[in-house]
């Protein structure tokens, strides 16, 4: 993303681009999955998150528009610019293939799994190893 469109404070950068994510996903997923590029770094170090949003069957809706039901959302958090190159390489090598596999597995999941919200997050450990967490655990 060009700097003029980023709206990030100086010293922060996103470790991935929309092209990185879309090229890792199948053609049909690449343009249909909403991407959200955050504006502040997360304290827990999470850089990439995918979330399954189930259909909400109550009258209240939980504040989510019905067009988002039964969809995936991908969120990318910024990090200090000095760490961007190393994080990008590690995420492209390890996290993006895992992201595509998670989405494929979620699509084939049974109805019971699909009826509940799920997420997986990836972060970069101090030694450059990518670790992941399911459902924020």
Local confidence band at 58 (pLDDT 50, 70, 90 cut-offs): low
More confident residue, 95 or 10: 95
Percent of the chain with pLDDT over 90: 39
CA proximity to 79, closest of 133, 7, 16, 1: 16
Local confidence band at 78 (pLDDT 50, 70, 90 cut-offs): very high
pLDDT for 79: 93
Burial of 120 (0-12, 13-18, 19+ CB in 10 A): buried
Average pLDDT, the chain: 83
What letter would DSSP give residue 93? Answer: I
Q: Which two tokens stand for residue 128?
A: 């450059």
**Residue 81 sits in which domain range?**
3-134
Mean pLDDT of 20-48: 82
How many independent structural domains does the chain possess?
Answer: 1
More confident residue, 6 or 109: 109
Asked whether the beta carbons of 99 and 74 are under 8 A apart, the reply is yes
Percent of the chain with pLDDT over 70: 80
Strand 118-124 with 71-76, pairing: unpaired
Asked whether the beta carbons of 1 and 18 are under 8 A apart, the reply is yes
């Amino acid at each position: 993303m060009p700097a003029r469109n980023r709206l990030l404070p100086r010293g922060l950068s996103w470790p991935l681009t929309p092209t990185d994510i879309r090229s890792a996903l199948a053609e049909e997923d690449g343009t249909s999955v909403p991407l959200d590029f955050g504006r502040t770094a997360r304290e827990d170090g999470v850089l990439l998150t995918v979330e399954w949003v189930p259909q909400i069957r109550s009258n209240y809706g939980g504040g989510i528009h019905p067009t988002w039901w039964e969809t995936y959302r991908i969120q990318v958090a910024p990090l200090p610019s000095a760490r961007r190159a190393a994080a990008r390489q590690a995420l492209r090598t390890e996290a993006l293939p895992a992201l595509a596999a998670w989405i494929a597995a979620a699509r084939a999941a049974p109805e019971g799994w699909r009826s509940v919200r799920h997420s997986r997050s990836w972060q970069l450990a101090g030694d450059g190893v990518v670790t992941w967490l399911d459902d924020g655990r």
